Structure 1
């Protein structure tokens, strides 16, 4: 009886508790949000040290009115907006490319994303010159940031997807499920 009581207490200890796994959609949301915040902040740092002419606040140009967009507050609000948009980008990657276990897929995804933003969506951003009018440093810096962003999103989502597949296979092959299947 004493032994049963101590094993029950042992299970109740925090260190012996298993964490509830985070659902896969929440993981994608976190990857997208963190990726957008981190890489757009690095883009802002690149803007500050004059590696690029394009600041994160370009995202607010078509929709927000006022000079506040040019302030530090405007830059940080833009970084948060980019983080929110990045969540949708992460879900897009998950829907289309999750099964590809190759770092190059993420790099190509980032390069394609750069092309979409700077070629297809360029008319929306009136303060951003056409790619042919941008300085070489701006193009190289932004292409590199987008490729690294794509690799981060792609590799993180692919890794989590493959971990989920491995865990599902392990759960199917546990002795408990095999015994239940045998009966």
Structure 2
């Protein structure tokens, strides 16, 4: 069953319970921003390749410190007009339950977004501030360029993200893992 695309549906801002009650829709990417459904097409194959390979590298380098997951729901704000995002990749503690439908942002150690044409502003500005406000300690932005894959690393300092590095080729992250960026694409 697909989500309705009518501009009049549902006619009000959604809370977390209403979000959870929506039918599953795997044909599009759906998030909730301050109670408003945001629907986007599924990512292009290059994006999917980068995400899968990134999850594999992060899992391989975890040494039991985290578990990496792709495209899972993270509750940014549980309010009458809720915000639920689906970062491309999240790192969570390894003992966190994997049977829950979504995690609270306070449980997320790092969020990763892979930039796409059409998501750059959302990922660089909107999610950048939402994830910081929610207290996610690390934010990574990954972008495929003509020169290869670039990763920009941000850490949370006093409630705001500060850029700590821009990586090309390999990325020795402050999380204690080194990524082969060239192998992502």
State if a TM-score over 0.5 links the two structures.
no
Which structure has the highest helix share of the two? 1
Give 1 or 2 for the bigger CA radius of gyration. 1
TM-score normalised according to structure 2 size: 0.28
Q: Specify which structure has the bigger relative contact order, considering alpha-carbon pairs within 8 angstroms and separated by 6 or more residues.
A: 1
Could you say which structure has the higher strand fraction?
2
